[in-house]
Structure 1
Amino acid sequence: MLNLGISFETTKTLAITFAPLLIPRAINLYRDVRVMIASRPPARLLPAGAARALNLLFFAIVFFLLLSLPFNPRAPDPNIFTQTRSRINTPTDVIFTRLARHRSQNLLTEADTLLRSKLTSLAARKVYLRFGPDALVSCQFCTLDNLDTYLLYYLPFNMLIPHLFHMLLVGVVTSAPFAGQEAARWRNTFTFAGLVLAALDIYIMASYDPLQSASAAVRAGQAPPPSLYHQITLLRPLAFTIFDVVCAFLIYVTATNRFFFTPPSQVEQVDQLVTVATTSLTGASSKLHALSVTRNAVVRNKVLKDRDDQYWRAVVAMEGSQEGRSSSSGSVWEEEEVVKAMSRAMNGQGRNGGVDLAKLGVSAGEYVDGITAGLEKTDDERTG
């Protein structure tokens, strides 16, 4: 009950101290999120640059996820203390006698024998649990009196290279030429987060103590000690996996305008208008050129030219006849013979079996749409 009272008082004090600072910020953040969601434009398809970045991140996620599995080929050998159920103060001969039972034909390997010759003191066992067997066996300049020498041996190949490779990946997927502007806007954020992750990894390895960080049972020599080397070797690629999943999610929602939308600048708006105008002018010029080519082909061909002239003479004659008759007895389309002929054509009594109005309408519609495609849209944009 005393502990509960202290915990409640501590919580109350912290709430009174930080509530006036945190509550207004939380309210403003909530309002900003609501405004952002309400004013965001409709979702769009994923741009090509963002798609390339997401594809690369997908392969990176799969790669790091496989490296985080304990049965992958690159996974370290099991911790011999946990494998043999030995305590930190168990004699070396006993540990390796138990270890031999897990080897083929109950015989230790050359690596086991070499490790046995090094694992003779408590300091050496701490180095094994912290930096792994390779640092304890292979380091030529390391001494047990100065454990920082083992840290210098461990850092380059086990920490710096993986983090540099991951930072290179982050740089590629946030590069504007490769991934587009939507992913490039996250470049500074992702880079800073990657550096923080690397600094946290270095801090853990530099400050970890196998006994002080362990449980009371381990410090009392009643349970096998855990190995930071074996845990961090699998947790590091798992952290990269989670990091890349978050990066892929942010790039996706940004590139599709689902969240974190920023309106285009004035320069981008002008470029869009110029692009639309240029496209419309190009389409209109192409159609005018096609019409000119068609007209030239008709004019230069004698047969087509005669038919064209005959058509326009008939049109002129029809208009003149229609004007003359309309002044006296109404329009030519109102005459009884014309009405009967049109009725026979519509009802299928003509010479060719009638006129298929549905087919004629579709063909005419397709023709008109093909000729005037884009012109209505251009007019609307121009008036808007």
Structure 2
Amino acid sequence: MAIPWGTVKSLLIFFAPILLPKLFRWYSSVKNAPKMQGMQIRPVPSGVRRALFLLFAVSAVLLLRISLPIFSPENIFQVADARLQIPVDVLFNRLSKLRPNGTLTPQDHALRTKFVSLESRLLYLQFGPSVLADCPFCTSDDPKSYLWYALPDLLAPHLVNLIAIALSTSQLFTSSKSDKGDANVTRWRTPATLAAIILAGLDIYMVSTYNYQLNSRATRLPDLDFFFWTARTYRSLLLAGLDLLLAFLLWLSSTNRAFLNPPSPAERVESVTRTLMAAKSKLNAAGVVKNAASRDDELLRRTTSYWAHEVRLMQDVMEEREVIEGVNDALQNRIDIQNITRDAEAYAKGVVQGVTYSKA
């Protein structure tokens, strides 16, 4: 039953002032999460690119499966533009005129033997042509027999999609030579797997509980519910949507844009320690170079000459009229000398106290 636009408008007017601020706050928190946790946005890791390509490929196949007529099972009632109660001979005579060379296919002949009853035609709309034509043990007296035969084809896209989800969230599949995989990828395995299993369960439930007898009252072609083809379309759309949503979540988490796993305190301490050790190594190297330059007469002479040249160049620059005017203007109008003097004194006291404390 369609919801009136007035009701929708009233709900939007009531809930929008409540939900929109929360939505903006959530978006702001997600956007600023990397900065708040000291993490930077990074490119997509090479292993995650493989997972994204796999998910996009499976989604493309699922969408092509319902968009291209060559991959869609034929509905002979639509092809022949016939109502459900049409006589069998009239239906297949009309269908043979539409076939190449006027010859019916083996599937057409199999369906012709089954369409002697209205029950079989109703089951055709529920399970599709291949199930009704190829099942060797199914009878219209036992409609559930068609369901058991249709289950493998029904579950096939779900199983393929589940394999794609398992691979794309596998640390082994998303790892590369430069890294051992991304923990932000494997975290989505359980939710994505549960979502795929729930979709498969709902699909089986909808097919098994569908009341195919409703089509028996339809006297015109537009009144028929082509359940098999409709369910096939929605099945592919939902599976493709799940894959695309998973790909989007993998992209967000692997690039540190959202859903971050902040480093533990031990990891932060280790990172700071590594940074300090690297800085200490550079200072030691600089000290060694300076010591070597001080002990070598030629290097000492060149160093002294370089700094003497720099000092003379700086003096020449500072003596230019434009520079002097700019410095005076900054000192008079833009810089508070008293605050700078106060900060310098505080800094000098802190340094002296730190040196005195270290000596003590």
TM-score range, shorter chain: 0.5 to 0.7
2:128 paired with 1:128? no
Equivalent residue for 1:177, pick from 160, 168, 172: 172
Residue 357 (structure 1) aligns with: none
Structure 1 residues 284 and 60: alpha-carbon distance in aligned structure 2, compared to 1, 3 A threshold? farther
Residue 145 (structure 1) aligns with: 141
TM normalised by structure 1 equals 0.62
Residue 316 (structure 2) aligns with: none
Q: What's the offset of the Cα at 1:145?
A: 1.9
| Letter of the 2:94 counterpart | R
Structure 1 residues 270 and 219: alpha-carbon distance in aligned structure 2, compared to 1, 3 A threshold? farther
| Letter of the 2:138 counterpart | C
CA contact (8 A) 2:184 2:260 kept: no
Alignment map for 1:246-261 (pairs within 5 Å): 246-261=245-260
| Letter of the 2:195 counterpart | A
Distance 1:314 1:204 in 2: 86
CA contact (8 A) 1:129 1:226 kept: yes
Distance 1:183 1:62 in 2: 21
Using the TM superposition, name which of 168-177 and 218-227 deviates more: 218-227
Calculate percent identity across the aligned residue pairs.
31
Give the secondary-structure state (helix, strand or coil) at the position aligned to 1:117: helix
| Letter of the 2:76 counterpart | I
Residue 328 (structure 2) aligns with: none
Alignment deviations for residues 291-348 of structure 1 (CA, whole Å, 9 cap, x no partner): 8xxx9xxxxxxxxxxxxx9x739979xx9xxxxxxxxxxxxx9xxxxx9xxxxxxxxx
Unaligned runs of 5+ in 1: 296-308, 320-332, 334-338, 340-384
CA contact (8 A) 1:82 1:226 kept: no
Using the TM superposition, name which of 225-234 and 82-91 deviates more: 225-234
Residue 221 (structure 1) aligns with: 219
Distance 1:313 1:163 in 2: 77
Distance 2:280 2:9 in 1: 69
| Letter of the 1:205 counterpart | V
Residue 196 (structure 1) aligns with: 198
| Letter of the 1:312 counterpart | D
Distance 2:160 2:54 in 1: 14
2:25 paired with 1:40? no
- Give the aligned length: 284
Structure 1 residues 220 and 126: alpha-carbon distance in aligned structure 2, compared to 1, 3 A threshold? closer
Residue 209 (structure 2) aligns with: 207
Give the secondary-structure state (helix, strand or coil) at the position aligned to 1:68: helix
Alignment deviations for residues 12-38 of structure 1 (CA, whole Å, 9 cap, x no partner): 9x99xx98xx99898766644433333
Distance 2:258 2:157 in 1: 31
| Letter of the 1:105 counterpart | N
Distance 1:268 1:211 in 2: 64
Structure 1 residues 100 and 314: alpha-carbon distance in aligned structure 2, compared to 1, 3 A threshold? closer
| Letter of the 1:166 counterpart | N
Residue 298 (structure 1) aligns with: none
TM normalised by structure 2 equals 0.65
Q: What's the offset of the Cα at 1:107?
A: 2.4
Distance 2:32 2:230 in 1: 45
Q: What's the offset of the Cα at 1:210?
A: 3.6
Residue 262 (structure 2) aligns with: 263
Distance 1:51 1:283 in 2: 36
Alignment deviations for residues 181-233 of structure 1 (CA, whole Å, 9 cap, x no partner): 12222222211211121122112211223452x6xxx8341225343223333
CA contact (8 A) 2:137 2:145 kept: yes
Distance 1:263 1:111 in 2: 59
CA contact (8 A) 1:56 1:173 kept: yes
Alignment map for 1:27-106 (pairs within 5 Å): 31-41=25-35, 42-72=40-70, 74-76=71-73, 78-106=74-102
Distance 2:297 2:9 in 1: 95
Using the TM superposition, name which of 173-182 and 110-119 deviates more: 173-182
Residue 187 (structure 1) aligns with: 189
Residue 243 (structure 2) aligns with: 244
